């Protein structure tokens, strides 16, 4: 069964909209786990627009399954990661003006920086994934810098406007997964997945983990976190 990592960043987005104390992403994490989440994912961004250091530190002892920290390969965040030691870290690109992570990390162009970050995280006992486009060159580069997993970005699939385009992007993801498997990498996927588009992705051979945020939090606002997670787990199971 594929693991579901529930990304709770946008619970913190609502809190930060008022610089208030609620809703607390830590409470959301507990409810997501009760709903069947296999892990919790948070992105501690340099600009701290949603998740705060306090959230990460509180989540660490509470999330006993898998806490996955998304982070940019920059010293200040890497130091926090190595101190808190989540089970898993996913290196992502970060641009201040973006609404959400746009595309995978260019591991080839940033090889030295990424390799150093992977080494530092691994030394702290953290499993390391790199968020990449469904591009064999980037997947191979992720292996070469020492990552044990790739999170292959599904944004182009999620944003496809026609059935033909969607099929093409799905085929690219299938081929990327096959390639990553042959490279001996663990395979995660995520970005833009929803209750209606998740099933073809959950059927791709070799995929071990899906990280889903916006769609689950959006539903949770209306039906509650526990139910929203249960419904996503069910959608994945039916695939």
Active site (catalytic) residues:
43, 70, 191
Residue 113: name the closest of 61, 78, 148, 164 by CA: 78
Q: Spell out, one character per residue from 11 to 50, where the chain touches ligand PXP: x when CB under 6 A holds, - when not.
A: --------------------------------x-------
Q: Decide: is 190 part of the binding site for ligand PXP (CB under 6 A).
A: yes
Tell me, residue by residue from 146 to 185, as one string, x for binding to ligand PXP by CB under 6 A and - for no binding. -----x----------------------------------
| 90 within 8 A of 126, measured Cβ to Cβ | no
Tokens linked to 201? 């992705």
Q: Can you tell me the distance from the alpha carbon of 224 to that of 219, in angstroms, rounded to the nearest whole number?
A: 7
Task: Out of 2, 4, 6, 7, name the contact with ligand PXP by CB under 6 A.
Answer: 7
Residue 134 as a binder of ligand PXP (CB under 6 A): the answer is: no
Q: What is the distance of C-alpha 211 from the center of its chain?
A: 4
| Site stretch for ligand PXP (CB under 6 A), options 78-86, 139-147, 201-209, 213-221 | 213-221
| CB of residue 92 to ligand PXP, shortest distance in Å | 5
| Segments of the chain assigned E as strands | 3-7, 39-43, 67-71, 88-91, 127-132, 149-153, 186-190, 207-212
């Amino acid at each position: 069964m594929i693991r579901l990592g529930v990304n709770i960043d946008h619970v913190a987005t609502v809190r930060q909209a008022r610089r208030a104390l609620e809703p607390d992403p830590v409470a959301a994490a507990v409810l997501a786990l009760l709903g069947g989440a296999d892990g919790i994912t948070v992105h501690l961004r340099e600009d701290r627009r949603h998740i705060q250091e306090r959230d990460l530190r509180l989540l660490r002892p509470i999330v006993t399954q898998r806490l996955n920290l998304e982070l940019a390969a920059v010293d200040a965040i890497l130091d926090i990661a190595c101190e808190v030691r989540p089970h898993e870290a996913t290196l992502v690109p970060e641009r201040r003006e973006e609404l959400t992570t746009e595309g995978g990390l260019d591991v080839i162009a940033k090889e030295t920086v990424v390799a150093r970050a992977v080494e530092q995280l691994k030394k702290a006992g953290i499993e390391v994934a790199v968020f990449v486009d469904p591009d064999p060159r980037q997947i191979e580069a992720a292996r070469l810098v020492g990552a044990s997993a790739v999170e292959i970005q599904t944004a182009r699939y999620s944003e496809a406007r026609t059935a033909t385009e969607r099929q093409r992007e799905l085929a690219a993801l299938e081929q990327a997964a096959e390639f990553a498997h042959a490279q001996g990498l663990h395979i995660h996927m995520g970005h833009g997945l929803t209750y209606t588009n998740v099933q073809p992705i959950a059927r791709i051979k070799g995929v071990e983990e899906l990280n889903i945020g916006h769609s689950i939090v959006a539903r949770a606002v209306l039906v509650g976190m526990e139910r929203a997670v249960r419904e996503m787990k069910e959608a994945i199971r039916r695939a």
